[in-house]
Amino acid sequence: MKQTIKLLGLFLMLTVSQISYGQKQEKIYYDKNWKVTTESKASYYRTTAFDVNGKPVGITKDYYITGELQWEGKMSYIDKYDNSKDISDGKCTWYHKNGKKSRESTMVGDKEDGLTIFWHENGQKAREIEYKLGVPNGKWIDYYESGKVKFRIDYKDGKPTEKWFTECDEFDKCQKVFFEGFKTTEDENNWEPADLDDYKSEIIAGEGLLMKTKTDKGYAQWIHLPIDISNNFSIETIINFKSGEKNSAQGIIYGFKDWSNYYYFYISANGFYRIGAITEGLNLEYEKWTQSSNINQNYERNLVKINKIKDKVYFSINGQIIASEDFYAFKGNNIGFYIPSGKKEVLFERLLVRQDIGENNAISKFSNSSDWKGNGTGFFIDARGYITTNYHVIEDASEIEVDLIQNGQKKSYKAKVITSDKQNDLAVIKIDDPNFKPYSKLPYNFKTQISDIGSNVFALGYPMALSAMGSEVKFTDGKISSKTGYQGDITTYQISVPVQPGNSGGPLFDYDGNIIGVVSAKIMAADNVSYAIKSSYLRNLLDVLPENINIPNDQGLAGISLTEKIKLLSDYVVLIKIK
């Protein structure tokens, strides 16, 4: 398709024309940069029809010079001398050379409007962006070739709806990311540069935040950026010393509440660093001024980084760890830059903060759907539409919908929360839809007796159903590894059944078809270490409901094959979608 590169020079065009019904069909040749050229130099060609007034009619198609379709769509205007002036309107589709779609957009006056989708050459989605007349307005999601989420940010009228975006690796480990690159002079993150007698600061577009101290009083700039300190995080900047006193400090302050409560990590241009905290007005020096060969001295740039991993904090300069300390909770949520003393100019080129997204549950946080923001799994505990899942699946949900198979057909129903138990991570929801027809019975048994270590068990669920793995129920199996869970938790089993984001709330069966637990979590850093809440704790929750729950007690599955069990049970395991 056209590019926004203006065509310079003469308009060179070979056409194959025919006139029929007042229309003229033409073929136009383009080089690799979409400049009009001769057939012998072409990388692409276009076929389009024009009416007697020179207006394009019908579908315009672009082809690779080897004949494969590259683009097709409607155009309201084609400029034969400058294709950057072309205007497309309506649905437009781009293609990879292998014939698979590479992009699909709806254009209004040559501006994207609605959902634009990109695809990798293997057919997996590469990107989704929601537009409003050429401006991002909604989700922006990038995907790996595997189909897993790589990146997500949300926009409103061309601006991010929050300071953070999300990045994930190909193993579903995700981080919230804040990045201030000072690309423009617009102070979008409220640094509030100042020009006073003692100090001055200004945003230099594409370079950073330049801070200048005119006296020895010191100067700080910070922004409010709350961090979940229960999870791992990192803070980094590049410090570019421009001029002034080399034997005094500049660096990062974080966890800043006020001048009596904050943490600091400083370096000096003559090769020293200092680490510590001010707590209740007391200066606690973790590392007194210490010389380091890792510091680029004088007017050189230095990457300074703080990593909190579990209960430790690691401090590094230019990629080399120079100190570590125990982590202590913050009292404030401000992060920024500080020149404690000395007359100087220092450029802070960026602020990059990464925050791990909690690893303690297996709910899918991302969705290909423009509506549903996450999914989990549930299962029927009463044929009248009562369903059990995890509390964290439905926590803060404004709307719940369940997908299930009934009489061989996929159906979707609205649901509402009946009760929940946050402490044990359990919830009961009920289908709230007049079109739902209750089942005659549930073909499984509810077992509350503790199962033995080594017992064979299996789970059914909907891992990553809204993103990579599709909405078909998935089977995984393993054994009970321990009668207690994480750190000896007596409410859960440790199991070797593999679970993924979205499995949360699904049933754990033994091989006789008895429900013995509710899948709840996994340890992201460990292979096949998962947890399931014991069914006795679910029974306790059901016993205190105001409604009388008819708990299933059918033991007819014990004598049939595993494959037949899975076929029968799958219809009673539901996909839970949340907003």
* Residue 439: CATH number of its domain: 2.40.10.120
Three-state SS string over 519-563 comes to: EEEECCCCCCCEEEEEHHHHHHHHHCCCCCCCCCECCCCCCCCHH
Shared-domain flag, residues 217 and 94: no
Distance CA 528, CA 506 (A): 16
pLDDT per position as a tens digit, 140-159: 999 999 888 899 999 989 99
The arithmetic mean of pLDDT across residues 318-346, rounded, is 95
* DSSP code per residue over 199-236: EEEEEETTTEEEEEESSSS-EEEEEE----TTS-EEEE
| 137 assigned to some structural domain | no
Shared-domain flag, residues 483 and 352: no
Neighbours of 2 (CB within 10 A): 22
The reported pLDDT for the residue numbered 52 is 86
Q: Which of 57, 90, 112 is the last residue of a domain?
A: 112
pLDDT per position as a tens digit, 513-535: 999 999 987 654 445 678 999 99
The pLDDT of residue 450 is above 70: yes
| 151 assigned to some structural domain | no
Q: What is the pTM of this model?
A: 0.59
Domain that holds residue 241: 199-356
The pLDDT of residue 171 is above 60: yes
The pLDDT of residue 426 is above 60: yes
- Considering just the CA atoms, what is the radius of gyration of the chain in Å? 31
**From 90-99, 449-458, 539-548, the region with the lowest mean pLDDT:** 539-548
| 145 assigned to some structural domain | no
The pLDDT of residue 186 is above 80: yes
| 173 assigned to some structural domain | no
Shared-domain flag, residues 61 and 102: yes
The arithmetic mean of pLDDT across residues 416-433, rounded, is 92
The reported pLDDT for the residue numbered 12 is 37
**For the chain, how many structural domains are there in total?**
3
